Each structure stands twice: as structure tokens, then as C-alpha cells.
Amino acid sequence: MNRWRDIPQRSDLLLQYLIDIQQRDSCISTESIQKLSTELAIPAAQIKSVIEFYSFLHTTPRGHFNILFSDNITDQMAGSRALMRQLCQQLNVRQGDPRADGRVTVDTTSCTGMCDQGPALLINNFPITRLDSKRIELIAQLIEQDTPLEQWPAEFFEINDNVHRADILLTHNTEDGDALRALLEEGAETLLQRIGDAELRGRGGAGFKTATKWRLCKQADAAQRIVVCNADEGEPGTFKDRVLLQSYAAQVIEGMTLCAGIIGASKGFIYLRGEYRYLLDSLEKELQRRRDAKLLGNNILDQQGFNFNIEIHLGAGAYICGEESALLESLAGHRGIPQKRPPFPVTRGYLGLPTVVNNVETLMTACQIASHGSDWFTDKGTRQSAGTKLLSISGDCQQPGIYEYPMGTSVSDILIDCGADGPQAVQIAGAAGQTLCHREFKRKIAIEDASTGGSFMVFNRHRDMLDMVQNFAHFFAHESCGFCTPCRVGSTLISNLVDKLYTSHATQNDLRDIERIALVMRHASHCGLGTTASNHILDTFNNFPDAYQRRLRSTEYTPAFDLDLAVCEARAITGRDDDDAHIVCPPQEGFKP
């Protein structure tokens, strides 16, 4: 089971050891913690604090079959909640609790990146997509028969790329090693210049100039430098990195190696989100293939001293680890807490070393620019946003999947291409992004206009936008790392108030509170998660006021909790059920759950 061969000895691998133990034992027992504590000389409480941070790690056993339904809004729109209820019913199990015989656990998890083929679930870390009632029935049977996962029908585990529009990036294949040969022939400075001339900006969403990032890291004073591929594609509704890692891994890894060659790094990491663990084997094989082909490892392409090795680290269910400083903490085996900046990772990153963290798509694009030249890239796109962008399109459209568009393409053109029927909204750049309404569909995908890391979720005119708001509000309350006050407390306060609104118990006063909290989160939060976690609220306040207004009570005030329910314990204890044992609320005011 141990990917790390010998006995645990590297404290930076703590999270990786824990993931292996979880995989082997279905939980991390007190004994395992004690053993690890001795081996790594890390206090047990610190190990527990890491376990408690990551959603996929547990100190009590999960079922032999551990099922997690992807709970993104697109999964819900495709009927995931009903399918989960069906499965729970068929297996006679309660959501979240292992069945008494330990056979199975059924629960939800944040978006698993299968929105183009949802509803989806993970079973012991393997995704099953395209769920429907029939498939759920079969799954229930296989579980009751205790059929080992390897004997389940192979088609269950098929993951499609669903590429519906390919432009330069997905059509111009490069030969293995082209970018590295260009580097060796033309030199690091020329290649760095080329990436700079191509105006390549980070594809994860922030849009920082890639060449500038590489140069800053190259200039940082240090004996060792690090290249990290951010494959923690956790933003709800995005899945293009999944496709790149599945079908274009060679170019992604070559992009990392190119970066290493340019900046002088000898060590690299792919931080792969736990939800994509099923890609681990193929990625490891690809790394080995490249080592065998002298495209990776020591003396790459026989160039003396061009050494670069890559380790794959898994995440374990924490959206925040997509934030680069949190990712680096996680990579070092810690809880994924975003760090203050400055210092920036390019000067002080992984274990204090200068580190480049790039998105999967950025690295792949850099690889292609190296061999095709900068004009190849700048010929596409706008003046401020060069090249093309991969979009992960899901939701209410006929052809969800991957679309590669030149930067500057309008939202409305994209909606036509993907077969969106009567769209009322597009959620761009994921739950943390913007909610565009109909009058904004003329806006363009570009850094200077509608900027996105790639998520593009479509909502048709029959959708209740508050479903989305509630889904995102719950998501952020679940995924807040808890480090800073506004995000930690604010996201839960908002989640609770949105629930109150959703069940039509809120008043105008509650809306004012939601807005006040949302603004403080935006202004005062420590990291990008916190500052963007209330975007969906503030956007839908503006763009979809009706979704809120039609649920509001006309009264000025409603209680914060269900008054009659608040007497339930006393009624149960005393056995009373007379009139005075109840609190009746005026119909205008009270909770009616």
C-alpha cells in the first residue's frame, strides 16, 4: 500500500502517509497516529489536527464501500440528491453514518470535477459518472453482494474527455521533448523571453504573467528551487485539468520540466486533488516513461546537470488547497492554511524555497509556446489576453464538456455552441466567480472582462437561482479553512441566513444582514477564498433580486429560530402536549418547517 516504500521518515510526507493509512484501514486509528508520531517525531495532536482538516481523512472507520456523491449544483440539477436518497433507501443506510455491518457509507462531498457527466460519485476514491436510477440499483446490488470493486462493470468507471471544441492548444500536438530541445538549443533566457512575448498569463484564474513569475523565482537567491503543478482543481464546475491530466499529461509534465530548466529547479511536485486519485497510476506511469526516455530525472536529454524529479502528492478533500500558499502548506504535510504575503512563494515557497506554482493548463501552454513560438499564441485572443482558454462547460446545455476558445469570445457565442436552451444565468469562474445574467451575455471571456479559470455553469430560465446560492453558501461554509474571522464565521452565518431565506422565513432585515456580512467577507478576509466567497450573494442580489424577494416575509422581523421546536426537548422530558406546551406563532411570523 505504501507509495513511499520504506518506513515513514519524511515529515513533509505526513499527509501522504495519512492518505495511505486511510486507504488501507478505512480510518486512521489512535495506534496508527501514535506509531506515526514516534516515527516522524511529530506530536500526536499535530497529526490529529492535520487529519481533522481534510475531509477525506477520518479517525473512525468508514464503510467497506465508501461512497461520496458529488454535491455541486450541477450534480444537484441533474438529480443527484434523489439518487442518493434512492441508494440510501436501497442499502438501508443513513447519510453520513456507516451501516451497522460496516459494509457501506453514503455521504456527499464537494464538486468532484465530473460536471460534464454528472451526477457523479466517488466509491473508494474511484469516480462513477452518468448516474441514473438503474445504475444506482446495480450499485446497491453489487454492494449487497460484497463484490470487489475490481469486478464491477468496467463501463461504470469510464471517464470521457468530452472535448467539443479544440483550438490551437488541443490540436497542435508537440513531439515529446520538443520544448526541452528548444530550451537546450536556444538557452533559458530566449525561452523565458518567448513565454514573456507570448503574454502567457496564469490559467488558474488570477492571471499573473507566467514569465514574470518564473523570472522572479529564477532571480531569488537560493541553492534550490521548486516547480509545483497545481492540479487541485477544486473550483466547482471546472474539470479541464482532469482532461489535460488524463489525455495530455506528457505536455503538462514537459511544461514543468521546461520551467525547471529555465529557473534552475531540480525538484517538482504535482499536487493532485484527492478526487482525481484515479489518475495517479497513469500519471506515475507517464513519469516513469519520461524518465526512461531521458525527458525527466538526471541529465535530461543527456545534458549534464539538467536534473529534475517530480513527486506526486495527493490532496485529501480541501478546496482551500487550490490557493497556492495553502497548497504549499499542504505539500509540506500541514493543514492547508493560506499564508500571509509577502513573502510570495516565488521567493519563499515550499519549505522556504523559491517556488513556482502554476496551473495545469498554464504549464501545458508554456510547453507548446516553447516549441511553436510566441506568435503562434498571440495570434489568438485579445490585446490584453493572449491565446486561447479552456472552458469546462456544464449545467443546462445539450453538450457539456471541454471547449477551447480564443480569449475574447463572447458568452453568448459560447452559449449557442454548447446548446444552452433559454439560459438565464452563467456562473463563470466557479462558485467564487461571477454570476452573469442575460444582459451580461455579451461580455467576453478575457482577463479584462469576464475572467475565468475555466468554470462555466449554465442555468436555464426554469432554474431557481436560490438553489445555486444555497449550494454555494453551504460549500463555502464547509470549505472555509477557519483561519480568519470574516470567512470562518461569516460563511456559516450566511449559510444559516440563506437557509432561513430558502425556507421563506426571512425578512428584509435578514437580507440586510446577509449583505453586511458578505461585504465584510469581501473586504476583510485573509485570502482569495474569503474575499470571493460572497461574490455569488452580492451578484445575485443585483442580478436576481426576485429570487430573494419572492421568498421574503412581509413582516419587519421573524425570530432567528423555530420557537415551537425549541420546546421539543421539554415536551419529550415532561410528556406534556397541552396548549401551553406549545408556542404558536402568528402565520406572518413563525417558522413552519
Give the residues lining the site for another protein (CB under 8 A): 43-46, 48-49, 52-54, 318, 335, 340-342, 477-486, 488-493, 496, 509, 513, 516-517, 519-520, 523-526, 556-557, 559-561, 563, 566-571, 573-576, 578, 580-581, 583
Q: At what angle do helices 485-502 and 465-479 cross, to 10 degrees?
A: 150
Closest approach of Cβ 269 to another protein, in Å? 22
Measured from the CB atom, is 358 or 525 closer to another protein? 525
Alpha-carbon distances of 510 from 90, 362, 497, 517, rounded to whole Å? 40, 42, 7, 11
Closest approach of Cβ 356 to another protein, in Å? 23
Measured from the CB atom, is 424 or 525 closer to another protein? 525
Closest approach of Cβ 31 to another protein, in Å? 13
385 DSSP 8-state letter: S
* Location of C-alpha cell 523570472: 215
Measured from the CB atom, is 31 or 101 closer to another protein? 31
Residues 362, 356: contact at Cβ < 8 Å? no
Q: What angle do CA 446, 450, 454 make, to 5 degrees?
A: 75
Residues 520, 564: contact at Cβ < 8 Å? no
Closest approach of Cβ 575 to another protein, in Å? 6
Report CA Rg, the chain. 25
Phi and psi dihedrals of 246, rounded to 5? -80, -40
Alpha-carbon distances of 476 from 146, 275, 429, rounded to whole Å? 36, 18, 15
Closest approach of Cβ 483 to another protein, in Å? 5
Closest approach of Cβ 336 to another protein, in Å? 9
Measured from the CB atom, is 456 or 483 closer to another protein? 483
Measured from the CB atom, is 305 or 586 closer to another protein? 586
Closest approach of Cβ 402 to another protein, in Å? 31
Measured from the CB atom, is 252 or 494 closer to another protein? 494
What is 495-540 written as a DSSP string? HHHHHHHHTT---HHHHHHHHHHHHHHHHH-SSHHHHHTTHHHHHH
Closest approach of Cβ 588 to another protein, in Å? 13
Closest approach of Cβ 342 to another protein, in Å? 7
184 three-class SS: helix
Closest approach of Cβ 505 to another protein, in Å? 12
Measured from the CB atom, is 35 or 294 closer to another protein? 35
* Location of C-alpha cell 482532461: 243
Measured from the CB atom, is 293 or 538 closer to another protein? 538
Contacts of residue 145, Cβ cutoff 8 Å, sequence gap at least 6: none
Measured from the CB atom, is 52 or 175 closer to another protein? 52
Phi and psi dihedrals of 420, rounded to 5? -75, 130
| 288 vs 73: CA distance, rounded Å | 38
Closest approach of Cβ 560 to another protein, in Å? 4
* Whether residue 343 has a cis bond before it, omega within 30° of 0: yes
Number of helices (H), then strands (E), belonging to the chain: the values are: 24, 14
Closest approach of Cβ 510 to another protein, in Å? 10
Nearest to 445 by CA among 422, 401, 412: 412
Contacts of residue 560, Cβ cutoff 8 Å, sequence gap at least 6: 500
Measured from the CB atom, is 419 or 559 closer to another protein? 559
Measured from the CB atom, is 335 or 536 closer to another protein? 335
Measured from the CB atom, is 47 or 83 closer to another protein? 47
| 393 vs 445: CA distance, rounded Å | 13
Closest approach of Cβ 340 to another protein, in Å? 4
| 376 vs 368: CA distance, rounded Å | 9
Measured from the CB atom, is 38 or 282 closer to another protein? 38
Nearest to 501 by CA among 573, 560, 575: 560
402 three-class SS: strand
Give the pairing of strands 434-437 and 121-123.
Answer: unpaired
Nearest to 456 by CA among 435, 440, 471: 435
Measured from the CB atom, is 460 or 496 closer to another protein? 496
Closest approach of Cβ 468 to another protein, in Å? 21
Alpha-carbon distances of 445 from 341, 414, 458, rounded to whole Å? 28, 10, 15
7 DSSP 8-state letter: S
Give Cα 288 distance to the centre of its chain.
27
| 212 vs 195: CA distance, rounded Å | 9
Burial code (b: 16+ CB inside 10 Å, e: under 16) for 248-261 equals: bbbbbbbbbbbbbb
